[in-house]
Every structure is written in structure tokens, then in C-alpha cells.
Structure 1
Amino acid sequence: MPSGVDPRHVLDVRTLEMLVCPLTKTRLILSGDHTELISVAARLAFPINKGVPLLSLDEARSVEPDEIKTLTRGQN
């Protein structure tokens, strides 16, 4: 966890395992910088605000396949 980050604002990995994309119902991947959840199937990135994932399609942004590779580098 980066210094100066309130631990209450960090997404718990166990919570991540339960979350799915609201559009495709597929698994989400935490971005390398821990600020977004990525749906590879939908090509969407959902923001995480103060440890709370905003899984609304209105909040999501579109991502290109090359950007997905960059965002999820080192993730499975």
C-alpha cells in the first residue's frame, strides 16, 4: 500500500474476487495502479473511489485492447 493512503480506502482483494462486470458478468482485473477495475470482455474500466468500486456503466470508460494490456500488466 502506498504511504499516505488511508487503509479504509483500499479495495480488499477478497472483495475483488466477488465482483463481476455489470455488463458481461465476467471477472474484473485490478489495474496495476489500483485505481480501476478492468473488464477485458467489455473493454471497460470502472473507477475505484476511496476503496469503493463504481460499477455503473455511466462511470466506466472505454479502453482499447492495447491499453488493457498496459493496465493489467502482471495481473491474471
Structure 2
Amino acid sequence: MGISKELLDILVCPKCKNQIRLTEKQDGLICDDCGLLYEIKDDIPIMLVEEAKPIKP
């Protein structure tokens, strides 16, 4: 099913409040400013800073 375009338009990074983008595999959301990956599990984005994974540059 995936995440709808409308939801992506309103979601922001909970840490810095900047825009996020969908990964190529559509399995997570990336904040380029913070360098964090928020995973998507069962079509639900896990938008907790404590659960986010750092991405490698």
C-alpha cells in the first residue's frame, strides 16, 4: 500500500522540523539535514527520534 502523497506532504522530521523524503525502496523516510532514517513498518512511519537510525554520508 505505501504512504500516500498527502501524508508525505505534511510529515516533517521530528528533530529539526524540516522536510523528509521517501527512500528508493519506500521502506523509510530520510531527513537529509539530520542524517536520520525513520523506518516504515507495516505502512506506518516510526517518527521517533530515539528509534531513528543514522545514515552514512
- Shared topology, TM-score over 0.5? yes
Q: Which runs of 5+ in 1 are unaligned?
A: 1-6, 66-76
Q: What amino acid is the match of 1:19? A: L
Q: Which has more strand, going by share of residues?
A: 2
Question: What is the TM-score when the length of structure 2 is the normalising length?
Answer: 0.93
1:32 maps onto 2:24 in alignment: yes
Q: Aligned-pair RMSD on alpha carbons? A: 0.8
Q: Percent identity?
A: 26
Q: How many residues align?
A: 57
Q: TM-score, normalised by structure 1?
A: 0.71
Q: Counting helix residues as a fraction of each chain, which structure ranks higher?
A: 1
Question: Deviation above 4 Å: which 4+ runs of structure 1?
Answer: none
Q: Is the radius of gyration larger for structure 1 or structure 2?
A: 1
Please state if 1:44 is matched with 2:46.
Answer: no
Of 15, 22, 27, which residue of structure 2 is paired with 1:23? Answer: 15
AA matched with 1:21: C
